[in-house]
Amino acid sequence: MASDSNSSESQRIAQQRLRIIAGHLQKHKDDDSGTIATECKAEANKGTVPRKRQEIMKWNGWGYSDSKFLFNKKGQAEFTGKRYRLSGMVLPSLQDWFENTFGASVNHKSPATPALNASAVPPASLNEAFVEDLKATGIPFSHEAEDRVFRAHGHCLHEIFALREGKKFERVPDMVVWPNCHNDVVKIVELACKHNVCLIPYGGGTSVTSALECPPEETRCIVSLDTSQMNRILWIDEKNLVAHVEAGIIGQDLERLLNESGYCTGHEPDSMEFSSLGGWVATRASGMKKNVYGNIEDLVIHLKVVTPRGVIEKSCQGPRMSTGPDIHHFILGSEGTLGVVTEVTMKIRPIPEYQKYGSVVFPNFEAGVACLREVAKQRCAPASIRLMDNEQFQFGHALKPQVSSIFTNFVEGLKKFYITKFKGFDPHQLVVATLLFEGDRERVLQHEKQVYDIAATFGGLAAGEDNGQRGYILTFVIAYLRDLGMDYYVVAESFETSVPWDSLCFSLLLSFFRVLDLCRNVKERINRECKERGVQFQPLTSCRVTQTYDAGACVYFYFAFNYRGLADPVHTYERVEHAAREEILANGGSLSHHHGVGKLRKEWMKESISSLGVGMLQSVKDYVDPDNIFGNRNLL
Amino acid sequence: MSFLGHRSLMYKQGSSHSQDPMLKRDCFEDILEERRNSSDLKYALRCYAPVLYKGVTPCKANMLKNIVLQSDQLHYVINQVSQESGEAPDIIQEEASVILEEMAHRLQISTVRCFAFALSKAFKTLFQHVCVNEEGIQRLQQAIQEHPVVLLPSHRSYMDFLLMSYILYTYDLALPVIAAGMDFMGMKFVGEMLRMSGAFFIRRSFGGDKLYWAVFSEYVKTMLRNGFAPIEFFLEGTRSRTCKSLTPKLGLLNIVIEPFFKGEVFDVNLVPVSISYERILEESLYARELLGVPKPKESTSGLLKARRILSEDYGSIHVYFGQPVSVRSLAQGKVNRSTYNLFPRHIPRKPMEETQSFVNDTAYRIVRLQEDNMVLKPWVLMASLLLQNLEGLELSVLTEQTVWLRGLALSYAAFLDWPDQAPTAKVVSSSLALHRGLACVSGDRVSLVVGEPLGPVTPEEALFNRAVSVLSCASYRNQVLHVFLRPAMLAVAMHTAASSKKNEVYNCFSFLWDMFSNDFILCPGDTDFEEACYLLVKTGAVQMPQQDIVMTDIGQPTLSFFNGLLEPFLQGYQVVCRYLCEEASEGLTEKQYIPAVRSFAVKLILAGSAG
């Protein structure tokens, strides 16, 4: 600890602190409740993410190196590794679906460059004075090409595509630093200011908004500040149900560690395997179970942020304050333009006693949306409720693993027969809502009945727990599937928005929703743009309603196409996505619900929040970071 | 749609859409030919299974009414009206229901089949050919499946909408619902027949009636949004009695475009349809109506009397289904749709200025597209020449000049239906034969026919008869005006300008443009002056050295023809101005105004001081 001073005063304080910690530990032994505290650097790093991320993660794709989809010699799809429920399984229907949907063929491969070509990486231009001072602090850093490239991108299609193709990089960070705690960050930011070095905070690296891209016009030395080693839970306060956590922790570690003490945050964005707490704060993330736990802005109680002007934090942890505009809201969604989030105090909940998945099949998307709206209106949404359109429903089916027993196959067959034949559902129209209930057992069952009753009035038919659970598994593996697609000339991306309901229902057959209009118009716009831009194959456009609110919904789109015959597929893709976003905005959708703006959607900021609004944000930036040390140029 | 890009591209060259040398028009098929060779009854009873908008099941008329009556849009207005008037919402709701009852169509296929049978018989006696561009039909069929379609035919005759439905039935296309004026309701039986063949009736004026407007617009939008049927209405609002296009009315167009702006539909396809008649059934009726003889009220018995019409030959009809115009493409970059996002969609709002001017431009554009594809018969050119030679002219001269005018019209991309094989003399004589009621050849001279009533006539009566024949003839000349309008305005401007300086000519041109913007289809923002210059230069009548516009050696016939062409319109304004200066008293009402001008003109003509 900071005890290089000889004064007896500071020794006294240090001793007192140790006593308190010892007390805590003692108490922890006797009694599970109370406060569990950990001091900076007091413990070995137990996080999933090593400094050299490329040791366990793909350098040019999603997720773990050991987990990937591939078509085996028999042409059957397989998911490798041991980490997921789907791992090691054969997916017999995926090939047919893939070939039919995209007009692709397993014989037409577009393999990625096997390894990073270090000569394609621009040499590091280091600020020697900064490096000297940094060495003195003992904070680890690197300027190896692999480390720098890994932090030069997020997971936008164009970024991954460029990596796979071995394209030359225009600009990558010149070095990477790994602070270990808040104080390390303070030192780094001070040095950066002193030597006029550009800092780009890097959390989980799962950005899909070009937020991590280095601005090519940046001439200063760019330092990527990797927060992955700041991954401890510093204390848990069971009395107030809050935990104080270092912001570099990634979602899966946070949940796992809290679970060990019987708690959870309930914040589960689809990227939670890899995305970090600080990243959630910086992008205004949303978790799938927000209906019970809230979005990130509802979960945060206290923030500690290191900026070029110093450290921002509030002086108390009251649950709500009327102290002018909430300064947290300058930080939430600031996308790394103001500083680094180092520590967060956030709400925690006891792990729910009972969890149950569920699913409902509707005859068509319209009926499904009408049902979700009604559920939201009655404020009885389960922890998660999502509505997949028919394309996604079929996609989900294509991911069914080989069934081991004849019996389950038989039951599935019966179910299918009942839904499509007996109930008269058209398999090319029907859609499925997936549900997740949480709470104590009795309440869950009651809640479940309430939701199924509402669904029934919209023609919905309960379709079992398995279908529900499969829907959520899909979320975690879908990013891996994009890599498979890219091996066979298929590019894919997702984007999201939020939109008011604007409902108008007459009967089951006839309902008008702005949500529906937006989905239809965006899909149609994509199809039309693809045709006009020379895409030879029908694109896949699919959407799902992933969140419901009183006043609207969050809609998530998937979009993929076979790019054989296109000279510059990424450019084509970008033009189409651009058009799709314009369509979203014209139809009353927002610029983003939870992905953020980054550099990808900057051009619409003024239109979205007015030029006065942009001015307000700019003046905060100018005050907090007058020298643009946090120079990733996101947002504004 | 490449329509917009194409147009702006043409502008850069100082030309316009209609002068595109590459402009290709489709060929026509005569749909009566098959009718003459096979059973009408079988035709009327054949299987009719049109393709529909994205496979919707057509909605029963009653269900449609329910949807409208239950809509949030209508409820909002009902509550508003109720609060303003103090009446209970139930009563207003009842009123709305009555309005809708009066308005709504009751399309049923059996009535359509009756019409199909009867019209087949009638068309075969009245017309030689009914020609349709089948490629246009194919485009329409495609469009109907993709997006809601709005059919926008030109309006010259009562026949128009019967004809449209007849054609769509013939080609197995979805039958349209048609906005018709309330006048037809006077004809009890016929009105109901029309209703059952897809007409819905709207009052001619309902300016301040919020409830009426709400019911009406919701009714139309519901049909559009759900693609239950193509919607058909006449942009011109009423039949043009003069055969020149009327300036468009915007009310209904606003209504059908709004669902696109609100994102309720991905796009709306506007399909301009040009219906050209070789002879219009109402020919002489119109002339009399224009001269102040009241229009006969639509009545069933009147219709029966009109049967004598059946004994005459009305030549052929050409129906041209234009390229569908995508509202989405038109609006690209002109209207910011997101401004609609801050209001609940069910609350009616006045369209924004940006939208209004977009709708206005669109309307004008569509009418111009209608004009572009109007088929012109040789007679139209002859009528233009005869009207500049009211005392008559030698047949050989007329023939020679007609050939000359044909060349001019063709170089201005007129859609001329000139029989290819026949010698010119034959073409001229058969045109004269068909229109023997309007012009006759005596000796070697061709002149207008003036009806000679029995017994002694007053000079006023003689003048009236003469006016009828001139106006009837003018209705044919008017059909070609849109081809010549811009160069003709330039010719007049050159004639009146004090010098040949380009900017002075331009000023005169602008003056004429403003003055004529109610007479002709002139869209604000179009580069009409450049287009006119381009065309006159192209045909060699005018050259433009530096800052001047001057006539060439060979330009005289063209320019004087053009001056003569617009002369009557200029005179019209002159007479009105003289009237207003010399005779008009204070407190002249609109009602008195037209008869007063008319008798003032009579006085002038009889006194010999006006043509």
Report pLDDT digits (tens) over B431-464: 999 898 889 888 889 988 887 766 677 888 888 8
Range with lowest mean pLDDT among A186-195, A211-220, A262-271, B541-550: B541-550
Chains A, B: CB contacts under 8 A, how many? 39
A506 contacts in chain B (CB < 8 Å): 66-67, 70-71
**pLDDT at residue A608 above 60?**
yes
B142 touching A, CB under 8 A? Answer: no
User: Which chain B residues are within 8 Å of A524, Cβ to Cβ?
Assistant: 266
- Taking CB atoms and an 8 Å cutoff, what residues of chain A touch B66? 506
Arithmetic mean of pLDDT, A96-125: 91
Binding residues of A: 201-207, 283-286, 335-341, 482
Per DSSP, the residues of A462-514 read E--HHHHHHHHHHHHHHHHHHHHHHHTTEEEEEEEEEEE---EESSSS-EE-H
Q: Report the residue count for chain B.
A: 611
A515 near A553, Cβ under 8 Å? yes
**C-beta atoms of A607 and B341 within 8 A:** no
| Beta carbons of A517 and B264 less than 8 Å apart | yes
Query: A260-274, A275-289, B57-71: lowest mean pLDDT where?
Result: B57-71
Predicted confidence at residue A496, as pLDDT, reads 96
Across the interface, of B67, B336, B341, the residue whose CB is closest to A506 is B67
Collapse the DSSP code of A173 into the 3-class scheme (helix H, G, I; strand E, B; otherwise coil) and give the result.
Answer: coil
Contact B269, B136 (CB under 8 A): no
In angstroms, how far is CA A10 from the centroid of its own chain? 43
pLDDT tens digits, B527-549:
899 999 999 999 999 999 888 99
Pick left, alpha or beta for residue B290 (phi over 0 → left; psi -120 to 50 → alpha; otherwise beta): alpha
Q: Is the pLDDT of residue A432 over 60?
A: yes
pLDDT of A4 reads 47
Q: What is the dihedral of CA B248, B251, B254, B259, to 10 degrees?
A: -140
Residue of A556, A558, A563, A573 marked active site: A556
Annotated binding residues of A for substrate, written as ranges, equal 482
- Give the pLDDT of residue B610: 54
Q: What is the structure's pLDDT at A34?
A: 42
Burial B437-467 (b: 16+ CB within 10 A, else e): ebbebeeeebbbbeeeeeeeeeeeeebbbeb
pLDDT at B25: 84
Residue A458's closest CA among A409, A408, A513, A413?
Answer: A513
Torsion (CA) B438, B441, B445, B449 in degrees, nearest 10: -30
Task: Record the pTM.
Answer: 0.86
Identity at A530, one-letter amino acid code: C
CB of B263 less than 8 A from some CB of A: yes
Q: How confident is the model at residue A390 (pLDDT cuts 50, 70, 90)?
A: very high
Tokens 């990596």, residue?
A163
What's the pLDDT at A405?
56
List of residues 6+ apart from A582 with CB closer than 8 A: none
Q: Which amino acid belongs to residue A524? A: E
Instruction: State residue B586's pLDDT score.
Output: 78
pLDDT at A9 (0 to 100): 65
pLDDT in tens, A500-557: 998 765 554 556 789 999 999 999 999 999 999 999 999 999 999 999 999 999 999 9
| pLDDT for residue B216 | 93
Contact B345/A514, CB-based, under 8 Å?
Answer: yes
pLDDT at A276: 97
Mean pLDDT score of chain A:
90
Q: What local confidence, expressed as pLDDT, does residue A408 receive?
A: 64
Average of per-residue pLDDT across A612-626: 97
| Alpha-helix residue ranges (DSSP H) falling in B241-318 | 251-261, 283-290, 300-305
* Residue B303 pLDDT greater than 70, yes or no: no
pLDDT tens for residues B132-150?
999 999 999 999 999 999 9
The closest of B294, B280, B303 to B154, measured between CA atoms, is B280
Averaged pLDDT score across all residues of chain B: 87
- Inspect the interface and report whether the beta carbons of B338 and A524 lie closer than 8 Å: no
Sequence letter at residue B152: L
- Given a cut of 60, is residue A56 above it in pLDDT? yes
Q: Which residues of A are annotated as a binding site for FAD?
A: 201-207, 283-286, 335-341
Provide DSSP, B469-534: HHHHHHHHHHHHHHHHHHHHHHHHHHHHSSSSBHHHHHHHHHHHHHHHTTTS---TT--HHHHHHH
Report the gap between the CA of A508 and the closest CA in chain B (Å).
12
A525–B266: do the CB atoms touch at under 8 Å?
yes
Q: What is the mean pLDDT of residues A287-293?
A: 95
Across the range B403-427, mean pLDDT stands at 91
Closest CA to B355 of B370, B336, B371, B368: B336
Annotated active-site residue A64? The verdict is: no
In this predicted structure, the answer to whether residue B92 has a pLDDT above a threshold of 50 is yes
Assess whether pLDDT exceeds 50 at residue B96: yes
Chain A neighbors of B345, CB-CB under 8 A: 502, 504, 514
% of chain A beyond a pLDDT of 70: 89
pLDDT at A244: 97
pLDDT at B205: 77
pLDDT at B298: 61
Assign B419 a pLDDT band (cuts: 50, 70, 90): confident
Residues A440-482: tens digit of each pLDDT: 999 999 999 999 999 999 999 998 888 888 888 878 888 899 9
Burial degree of B477 (CB within 10 A; 0-12, 13-18, 19+): buried
| Interatomic CA distance for residues A273 and A249, integer angstroms | 11
pLDDT at A152: 96
B226 at interface of A, judged by CB pairs closer than 8 A: yes
User: Which pLDDT value is given to residue B22?
Assistant: 43
pLDDT band, residue A404 (cuts 50/70/90): low
What mean pLDDT is predicted for residues A251-269?
96
Whether the pLDDT of residue A223 is over 50: the answer is yes
Q: What does the pLDDT look like over A6-53, one tens digit per residue?
A: 556 666 666 666 666 555 555 444 444 444 444 455 455 568 899 999
Interface confidence: ipTM more than 0.85: no
Residue B15, pLDDT above cutoff 80:
no
Residue from B264, B265, B328 whose CB has the most chain A CBs within 10 Å, to mutate: B264
Strand partners, B445: B394, B442
Classify burial at A393, counting beta carbons within 10 Å of its beta carbon; exposed 0-12, middle 13-18, buried 19 or more. buried
Q: pLDDT for A541-587, tens place per residue? A: 999 999 999 999 999 999 999 999 999 999 999 999 999 999 999 99
